[in-house]
Amino acid sequence: MRYVFDFDEPTDGGRELLGGKGVGLAEMTRMGVPVPAGFTITTDACRAFLASRDLPDGLEAEVDEHIRRLEERTGKRFGSPDDPLLVSVRSGAAVSMPGMMDTILNVGLNDEAVQGLARKTGDESFANDCYRRLIQMYGETVDGVPHDRFSADDDVERARAAYTAATGDEFPQDVRDQLRRAILAVFESWSSPRAQVYRRAHEIPDDLGTAVNVVQMVFGNKGDRSGTGVAFTRDPSTGEQGLYGEFLANAQGEDVVAGIRTPQPLRVMRESLPNAFDQLVETMRRLEEHYRDVQDIEFTVDDEQLYLLQTRSAKRTAAAALKAAASMADEGLITREEAVARIDPAQLDQLLHPMIDPAAELEVAAKGLNASPGAASGGIVFDADTAVERAKAGPVVLVRYETTPDDIHGMIAAQGVLTVHGGMTSHAAVVARGMGKPCVAGCEELALEGTTARLGGHELHEGDVITIDGGTGRVFVGEVPLVPPQINEDFETILAWADDIRRLKVRANADNPADARRAREFGAQGIGLCRTEHMFFGDERLPVMQEMILADGERGRRAALDRLLPFQQSDFEGIFEAMAGLPVTIRLLDPPLHEFLPAEGEVTDARLRKRIRALHEANPMLGTRGCRLGLQFPEIYEMQIRAIARAALAVQERTGDAPCVEVMHPLVGFREELARLRDLTESVWAEEAPDLEHLVGTMIEVPRAALRADEIAEVADFFSFGTNDLTQTTLAFSRDDAEGKFLTHYLSHGVIERNPFETLDIDGVGDLMRIAVERGRATKPDLKLGICGEHGGDAQSIAFCDELGLDYVSCSPFRVPLARLASAQAALRETAVPA
Ligand code: PEP
Ligand code: MG
């Protein structure tokens, strides 16, 4: 097997084999973009290493051969005392894991070669700077010398002394040995704890391995006509067109990434290095056109000569993703379908996060960079471990001088991140944007001393609450009023394109007029689940509800129900009006009655205690709830149906339009249950609103209902999959307890891959759904089908619902945009011609 390929060699291997950086360098080489020469060691080699903990046979000989070719090409020799070839050894996995793995620069210097480099360049301090950097980076990455043993102010002697003090060895003079151990260190870094945490957080498989790129060094640290930088073809925060990035004169890449020096905006380069700047602009234009996507690049200017060291699709905020996709479609760079396909539905969530109320009069304690949008409040923590610990008790904001990849677990645990130091492309900024978390970076007014923070005249300690606004860079002491998110034009544009593509309709789960209105603003095409139980809470209603439950007989219950009816009716009227012209599915009372009663221990009244005890069930979720209530106490459902019919009539009279009402019965498992409840529904309806159209249907949320869907469909106009209960009952996983108990263990130990309450268990629950669809439609081909469990707002589950041929999905109002996009993407995948 071959393990090594030059950048300009044709290969069949893509990103999986060469890693993202490797394919990018090869592609840029092919395009004629200025890229230093070099070669890629494949992920196959890394996987072989991970299996045996040793470099695979033949790899070293191949590396030697490719070094020889590099020497030929560059006219330099590896380890030469006269004109040494220096290389960087850079990680690059198939999936981008920014900053998680290791890179070593200036490999190939030793005590003799450094003198050769000094003579050749006529710049001794430059040569020494390279050597000092090598000793430090090599020490840290290859030998695990702690970062704080070195300083950027060290000279070669001091760096070497620190190296020897920490390792007990002289710095290795054999350059081939340096190279070999650097390659091993990059392979090893795939397994580092921080890389593992990152992979878990991003669901990246552990067995991919990383490629290694060995690249001829070009030098940004040769003085003022040199430098290094990172740049985006569009603003990664907003998506606005135009170059965006940072530049550091007389520096090597690690200085930018590690935040040792604060970089300057890219435009300073236009003044100091105009030719290289123009070339950069032109190259980035070409790259974006070639990849048809926003690119994130690393570059170095070596004595006015530009080199690209990396290009990749830029991680961007949701707002930037929408703006870039919409404008690239307008520019004709991509189609509308491609624009829709490019947005990660989960990312839309970012835009739907609450923001700080713009009208609130607030005292801004400090300002930093608006590195990743959204607002977050929480108790401050000063290190990642404490973040994880304290996040168990409540929201935290991680406050650091700057973050490093070792902080990744703390960033995952925190609501947001605030750093003193570092730019828009700093680690904190890039990682937070990728996670969709608010981040304010480079807040230089913030002073940290141990576990004390000084911020705008305040002295803060661990646990004190602050609020950060990643959209504006503002930092506040204490909690701050938030407002619902603002949807912008690009969001509307992309979702309108998605609407043209999707087949599934999207409804919302809402049980009050405000939520219904919000759902409608987000594009909901109706209500798929109006849970009526929430309407029985509230100071005026709960006592009446309790009276109803505690009544001795039907007479007493009816008396209480008569008083509840007007409340229900006015709720329904509000919802019908908010949803005018769109269907509203109202689900009759579902939960076990004891949910409305106080706990037995809280009650002194003996009669009440007795009644509460009588209602007690060992497994209430499998007990007297859903349609079982309606059948045992028909007067409850009768009141609800009456309230629905009267509300529909009243709204019709008021507005001239009849609401599209769908009455839904929960927890049905037998045809007979629904048949009886349908009769009840029809007879009440005939009394109240004989001329108003309506539908009667059922939830499918117990396995028996799915299996007997053919019979149940005889008496149903529609089915709505209640996948919360269907998951609970199919898996025998309690929806109230599993997630806090064994499910966590199952997920962390890989017994199952996903939380089935979040993403449909397609093999099990999904199979029952498929059976229900087939059997239901066999009886009634035009049976209306939907889903209203939480899965209706999960992209992967939505794709499955599309495949099943459901008519709609229904989800919480904030998820409606996500569902519109995910439905369109599902439709696009279905129509795509298989490769
Ligand atoms: C369900 O079970 O999926 C459902 C939507 O109903 P609820 O969550 O109210 O039980
Ligand atoms: Mg249910």
**H or E stretch including 61?**
helix 59-74
- Asked whether 723 lines ligand 1 (CB < 6 A), one says yes
788 is catalytic: yes
Higher-pLDDT residue of 539, 498: 498
For position 735, what pLDDT does the model report?
84
State yes or no: pLDDT of 307 exceeds 60.
Answer: yes
State which of 788, 791, 810 you would mutate to test the pocket of ligand 1, scoring each by most atoms of that ligand within 8 A of its C-beta: 788
Highest-pLDDT range among 214-218, 259-263, 813-817: 214-218
Helix runs in 343-421, H state only: 345-351, 384-391, 408-413
Give the span between the Cα atoms of 438 and 532, in whole angstroms. 36
DSSP string for 697-727: EEEE-SHHHHHTHHHHHTT-SEEEE-HHHHH
Ligand 1 atom at minimal distance to the Cα of residue 666 = 6
Q: What is the band of 626 on the pLDDT scale with cuts at 50, 70, 90?
A: very high
Strands 210-216 and 241-249: unpaired
Report which bound ligand comes closest to the CA of 533: 1
Give the span between the Cα atoms of 107 and 90, in whole angstroms. 11
State which of 724, 730, 761 you would mutate to test the pocket of ligand 1, scoring each by most atoms of that ligand within 8 A of its C-beta: 724
For position 205, what pLDDT does the model report?
86
- Sign for the CA dihedral angle at 387, 389, 390, 395 comes to positive
Give the span between the Cα atoms of 419 and 398, in whole angstroms. 8
Q: What is the band of 434 on the pLDDT scale with cuts at 50, 70, 90?
A: low
Nearest to 189 by CA among 255, 298, 103: 103
- Determine contact, residues 308/285, Cβ cutoff 8 Å: no
For position 258, what pLDDT does the model report?
60
- Determine contact, residues 276/249, Cβ cutoff 8 Å: no
Amino acid identity of 263? P
Give the span between the Cα atoms of 368 and 399, in whole angstroms. 13
- Asked whether 788 lines ligand 1 (CB < 6 A), one says yes
Highest-pLDDT range among 137-146, 239-248, 364-373: 137-146
Per-residue pLDDT, averaged over 493-521, amounts to: 94
**H or E stretch including 65?**
helix 59-74
Written as six digits, the tokens of 247 are 């530049």
Q: What is the band of 740 on the pLDDT scale with cuts at 50, 70, 90?
A: low
- Determine contact, residues 699/788, Cβ cutoff 8 Å: yes
Nearest to 145 by CA among 170, 173, 164, 172: 164
* Residue 692 CA, ligand 2 centroid: distance in Å: 28
Residue with tokens 């680690």: 427
- Determine contact, residues 434/441, Cβ cutoff 8 Å: no
For position 835, what pLDDT does the model report?
40
- Asked whether 511 lines ligand 1 (CB < 6 A), one says no
- Closest residue by CA, ligand 1 atom 6: 722
pLDDT tens, residue by residue, 71-101: 999 999 999 999 999 999 999 999 888 777 8
For position 257, what pLDDT does the model report?
59
- Asked whether 529 lines ligand 1 (CB < 6 A), one says yes
* Residue 667 CA, ligand 1 centroid: distance in Å: 9
Q: Output the CA–CA distances (angstroms, integers) from residue 357 to 469, 479, 485, 645, in the order listed.
A: 11, 12, 10, 40
Q: Which residues surround ligand 2, an ion (CB under 5 A)?
A: 701, 722, 725
Nearest to 430 by CA among 444, 441, 420: 441
* Residue 707 CA, ligand 1 centroid: distance in Å: 19
**If 0-12 CB within 10 Å is exposed, 13-18 middle and 19+ buried, where does residue 771 land?**
middle
- Asked whether 735 lines ligand 1 (CB < 6 A), one says no
Q: What is the band of 212 on the pLDDT scale with cuts at 50, 70, 90?
A: very high
Residue with tokens 């004390």: 452
Written as six digits, the tokens of 283 are 């190259």
Written as six digits, the tokens of 160 are 């070497």
Give the span between the Cα atoms of 722 and 810, in whole angstroms. 10
For position 406, what pLDDT does the model report?
76
- Determine contact, residues 293/272, Cβ cutoff 8 Å: no
For position 201, what pLDDT does the model report?
74
State yes or no: pLDDT of 834 exceeds 50.
Answer: no
Per-residue pLDDT, averaged over 671-681, amounts to: 98
Written as six digits, the tokens of 313 are 């699709």
Residue with tokens 């990743």: 372
Ligand 1 atom at minimal distance to the Cα of residue 701 = 2
- Asked whether 725 lines ligand 1 (CB < 6 A), one says yes
* Residue 123 CA, ligand 2 centroid: distance in Å: 75
Ligand 1 atom at minimal distance to the Cα of residue 789 = 3
Instruction: Report the chain's mean pLDDT, rounded to a whole number.
Output: 92
State yes or no: pLDDT of 790 exceeds 90.
Answer: no
In degrees and rounded to multiples of 5, residue 822 shows phi and psi of -65, -35
State which of 587, 668, 699, 812 you would mutate to test the pocket of ligand 1, scoring each by most atoms of that ligand within 8 A of its C-beta: 699
- Closest residue by CA, ligand 1 atom 10: 725
Longest dimension (CA), the chain: 105
- Asked whether 129 lines ligand 1 (CB < 6 A), one says no
- Determine contact, residues 21/94, Cβ cutoff 8 Å: no
Catalytic residue among 427, 594, 665, 791: 427
Report which bound ligand comes closest to the CA of 726: 1
- Closest residue by CA, ligand 1 atom 1: 722
Q: Is 182 helix (H, G, I), strand (E, B) or coil?
A: helix
- Closest residue by CA, ligand 1 atom 4: 722
* Residue 587 CA, ligand 1 centroid: distance in Å: 10
Per-residue pLDDT, averaged over 289-302, amounts to: 94
* Residue 723 CA, ligand 1 centroid: distance in Å: 7
State which of 507, 701, 794 you would mutate to test the pocket of ligand 1, scoring each by most atoms of that ligand within 8 A of its C-beta: 701
* Residue 590 CA, ligand 1 centroid: distance in Å: 9
Per-residue pLDDT, averaged over 143-157, amounts to: 91
Half-sphere exposure of 771 (CA within 13 A, CB side): 18
Q: What is the band of 259 on the pLDDT scale with cuts at 50, 70, 90?
A: low
Which residues lie across from 90 on neighbouring strands? 103, 213
* Residue 509 CA, ligand 1 centroid: distance in Å: 10
Give the span between the Cα atoms of 687 and 250, in whole angstroms. 86
DSSP state of 17: H
State yes or no: pLDDT of 623 exceeds 90.
Answer: yes
Region of residue 194 (phi > 0: left; psi between -120 and 50: alpha; otherwise: beta): alpha
For position 260, what pLDDT does the model report?
62
Per-residue pLDDT, averaged over 111-125, amounts to: 95
For position 255, what pLDDT does the model report?
72
Give the span between the Cα atoms of 824 and 802, in whole angstroms. 9
Catalytic residue among 130, 439, 627, 788: 788
Give the span between the Cα atoms of 556 and 549, in whole angstroms. 9
Ligand 1 atom at minimal distance to the Cα of residue 725 = 2
* Residue 728 CA, ligand 2 centroid: distance in Å: 9
Per-residue pLDDT, averaged over 415-431, amounts to: 83
pLDDT tens, residue by residue, 155-187: 999 999 999 999 999 999 999 999 999 999 999
Written as six digits, the tokens of 178 are 């340096």
Amino acid identity of 16? E
Q: How many helices (H) and strands (E) does the chain have?
A: 32, 33
Q: Determine what percent of the chain is predicted with pLDDT higher than 90.
A: 72
Q: 51-67: buried (b, 16+ CB within 10 Å) or exposed (e) per residue?
A: eeeebbeebeebbeebb
Per-residue pLDDT, averaged over 108-127, amounts to: 95
For position 350, what pLDDT does the model report?
66
Amino acid identity of 468? I
- Asked whether 789 lines ligand 1 (CB < 6 A), one says yes
- Asked whether 531 lines ligand 1 (CB < 6 A), one says yes
Per-residue pLDDT, averaged over 688-697, amounts to: 97
